[in-house]
Amino acid sequence: DTAVSQTPKYLVTQMGNDKSIKCEQNLGHDTMYWYKQDSKKFLKIMFSYNNKELIINETVPNRFSPKSPDKAHLNLHINSLELGDSAVYFCASSQEGGAGDYGYTFGSGTRLTVV
């Protein structure tokens, strides 16, 4: 069974649309994250949630809104999509104690293309 699963794997959409990416982990981890990987492969943290509470919110446009209905799920909703939002978005999770104890387990990524 996949430990951290994201859907969809690919998403192609037009500028101005609103879209969501879902993430679920079955590892029992307390903390989940969203990272954005651009065309140059740079991994940049966007959000971090611990037990459904937002603990990190980097300088991300407020068009991006994460939602964590429970500690096993962290979804990402994006409003008014722009060309610059095109990237691969990775969900990740880590155990109690944070990334400093056991590192991250990443999902397989969602390749978002805005046209």
Given the rule CB under 8 A, which residues bind other proteins? 31, 33, 35, 40-45, 48, 50, 55-56, 90, 94, 97-101, 103-109
Query: Cα–Cα distance between 39 and 83 in angstroms, integer?
Result: 13
Which is nearer to other proteins, 41 or 69 (by Cβ)? Answer: 41
Which is nearer to other proteins, 15 or 55 (by Cβ)? Answer: 55
Using CB atoms within 10 A of its CB, is residue 101 exposed (0-12), middle (13-18) or buried (19+)?
A: exposed
Which is nearer to other proteins, 15 or 34 (by Cβ)? Answer: 34
**73 has which bridge partners?**
24, 70
Give the nearest distance from C-beta 33 to other proteins in angstroms.
Answer: 8
Give the nearest distance from C-beta 70 to other proteins in angstroms.
Answer: 17
Which is nearer to other proteins, 14 or 41 (by Cβ)? Answer: 41
Q: Which of 101, 93, 89 is nearest to 4 (CA)?
A: 93
Give the nearest distance from C-beta 101 to other proteins in angstroms.
Answer: 7
**76 has which bridge partners?**
21, 66
Give the nearest distance from C-beta 12 to other proteins in angstroms.
Answer: 16
Query: Cα–Cα distance between 40 and 14 in angstroms, integer?
Result: 22
- 85 DSSP assignment: G
